[in-house]
Amino acid sequence: MTNPLLETWDTPFGLPPFDRIADADFAPAMEAALEEGRAAIRAIADNPEPASFANTIAALELADATLDRVAGVFYNLAGSDSNAAREALQREFAPKLSAYASEITNNAALFARIDDLWQRREALDLTEEEMRVLYLTHRSFTRSGAALEGEARARLTEVKARLAVLGTEFTQNLLADERDWFMPLSEADLGGLPKFVTDAARAAGREKGQDGPVVTLSRSLIVPFLQFSPRRDLRERAYRAWTARGMNGGATDNRAIAAEILALREERARLLGYQSFAAYKLETEMAGNPQAVRDLLMRVWEPARAQAIADAERLEAMLHADGINGALEPWDWRYYSEKRRAAEHDLNETELKPYFQLEAMIEAAFDCARRLFGLEFRPLEVALYHADARAWEVTRGGAHLATFIGDYFARGSKRSGAWCSAMRSQKKLGGDVRPIVVNVCNFAKGDPALLSYDDARTLFHEFGHALHQMLSDVTHGSISGTSVARDFVELPSQLYEHWLEVPEVLDRHARHAETGAPMPPALRDRLLAARTYDMGFQTVEYVASALVDLDFHDGAAPADPMAAQAETLARLGMPRAIGMRHATPHFAHVFAGDGYSSGYYSYMWSEVMDADAFDAFEEAGGPFDAETAARLERFILSAGGSREADALYTAFRGRMPGVEALLKGRGLDKAA
């Protein structure tokens, strides 16, 4: 029997034939893809013809076509719909893929050809994009140790293989803790909870096979529970479980794994000649070096901390007014902050949530893309990997641009958080390949499914990433879509969030789930007026995580990451009633792989630009200004990594921004 993963897919838009793919197909498909890749690499390295861009760099771009296809399907499933077989395959594939990558960068004959081209680059008559791809390829090989020899090369290969294994273990431990814990609730325990929370708790109970409602560690359920439950004992129990992920002892404890990862990253950097892993990692980012990151974060930390301390005093007074002595605790903050928001802004989640139906917010995200970029979205009836996943064809002017898959609901088989990925990226080399883009979220199910305002922002955020993939228009897959500097990649996503705050978007799409009536203008205005409410808390929990990440990697690796985390928080004067957004044992951004390691700051670096970029629309006459949208697409959304990030942004805006727009946007410009 043929393996469906290795066939040519005669499916709508080349979608994977999910209804025919079994878990047993992945291992043989991966082996075949790796062998095909090795043969292609040998053919490039051993080519007797002199090195040219076509027979070396372009050929290298196409060498992993089958591997990209198999891995694109597998890793999307492993993150969004895991099971025991897929977790075992992840553990099996991690060292194999690391070894394969090292085989390529350690291939002396291959690197000699790349290096020869780099040395002769001025005489090659390359296009701007080809020169960029040559530069990035040469840099990637060098930073992967291609110029190392002997023991150093062998040790670096071992380090990278071990890091791949540890990242997989960290991810799977975290998923296990999130999947296995839940807190059953009696009917009495539901007292004081809004209907949308009790509905979500009952749905979660059914998903866990329980007879009654439960609280799980899904953010879309636990956060509203912490906001609304008057039961302080239950809030504390839920909060402690949420923050204890990855440090419960036993087989799923991530603390020793984090320590080993940090030590190996430091060793990797030093083998390559860098003083620290942060120096190595940030060399290729917009920030350039650890000090630039620290300067930005501390510029924001001080006013945010001052605001958070002032807010904590207000909330603690409310706690004492309820007859509870003692200090405000982290499991109290959201509860009393929600009460304060209702009192000061005449807003509460119960009133707001019916206006943010999932279906309406999907349509709102589509509608903004339609008005900005002329995109159309047509639902598809196709086989997908899970019943909750849905697909749309994306077109413009009748021409096919992309296939978009949305997978929005929380489930035990899905890792926490929200993300965008591409099962297939856009490129023109070897044929006009159109992308298959996936947005994955963890919203609570309901009938209808209702989102918080933060959930709706998350939906817009991930769709901003999706637009970066869908509108990509480059020749080479290695620079397609989101293949950009890590501290630039969040610009399109965070910028797109701004359209959710546009009054005409809310007027058109924020309609009551039961009556269909638009959100009353007075409620809309109160919502928008309160958008910086509790921003001290939100900024402190984020910046604390970013500074801990930076401290971990900027210098010698700590033997005890938990002690190092505590030292950083003490030095910063972390308010006692606020926890890090991601404590070390569940800091998947940093420890599940290298993506955001020493780079969690990048959301804030991009925020400096997104605030300024939205100002460009406002200055031009409105949020849907056609000329500004066209510039945004041309210089950022379609350009991928074809130029340096600061050059792309300057081409769009005419200059680089300062931090002032960020502070103003967070309401921290006047905080002392």
**Average pLDDT per 10 consecutive residues for the chain, totaling 672 residues:** 92 97 98 98 98 98 97 97 96 96 97 98 97 98 96 97 97 95 96 94 94 94 96 98 96 98 98 98 96 96 96 98 96 97 90 95 98 98 97 98 97 93 97 97 92 96 98 98 96 98 97 95 94 95 98 97 98 97 96 94 94 94 97 98 97 93 87 54
| DSSP-derived pairing of the beta strands 390-396 and 419-424 | unpaired
462 is catalytic: yes
All domains of the chain in start order, with CATH: 4-105+107-144 (1.20.1050), 181-245 (no CATH), 251-347+535-600 (1.10.1370.10), 354-529+603-665 (1.10.1370.40)
Q: Please give the pLDDT value at position 671.
A: 61
Phi, psi at 400, each rounded to 5°: -70, 130
How far apart are the C-alpha atoms of 44 and 42, rounded to whole Å?
Answer: 5
Q: Please give the pLDDT value at position 475.
A: 98
Closest listed residue to residue 403, CA positions, set 375, 441, 442, 362: 375
Q: Please give the pLDDT value at position 620.
A: 96
Question: Which entry of 266, 267, 316, 462 is annotated as an active-site residue?
Answer: 462
Long-range contacts of 311-316 (CB under 8 A, 24+ apart): 311/337, 311/534, 311/536, 311/537, 312/575, 312/577, 312/578, 314/340, 315/340, 315/577, 316/577
- Cβ atoms of 14 and 436 within 8 Å: the answer is yes
Q: Please give the pLDDT value at position 1.
A: 66
Q: Please give the pLDDT value at position 665.
A: 87
How far apart are the C-alpha atoms of 469 and 403, rounded to whole Å?
Answer: 10
pTM of the model: 0.94
